[in-house]
Amino acid sequence: MEHIAAVLLVIGCSDTMTDCRELPVSVSVFETAQECTAARPFALADVQGQAPRIIAKCLSVDPALEDDYDQIVWNVRPDGTLDASVEISDLEVASNGERPERKKDSLSQQ
């Protein structure tokens, strides 16, 4: 069984960064953060044209807790900064910024 150590989150937004949505990519979970980082440019190329502005970020996760994660919470600021975290119910387990409140999506189990 493969362990998940990183999740690739790709968000497409309007020009004004006011309307954003998660964009599906062919591979969104990775065994290492380095694999996620290496795949990021290819994922961006795959979704090019699906939104005026596209942001992608790799989120590290604890492989020991991979089956417990049930959501990715994210927020895009007006300046284009993406804050995102992988969470277990109400417990935050990984974050790259302030706790986002705007969007909440279910994390599909791979």
> 39-92 pLDDT, tens per residue?
999 999 999 999 999 999 999 887 777 677 778 899 999 888 999 988 877 555
For 81-106, what is the mean pLDDT? 64
Contact status, residue 86 vs residue 62, Cβ threshold 8 Å: no
Give the pLDDT confidence score for residue 32 in this predicted structure: 92
**Domain limits, the chain:** 6-106
In contact, 50 and 37? CB cutoff 8 Å: no
- What is the pLDDT averaged over residues 15-20? 92
Percentage, residues of the chain above pLDDT 90: 51
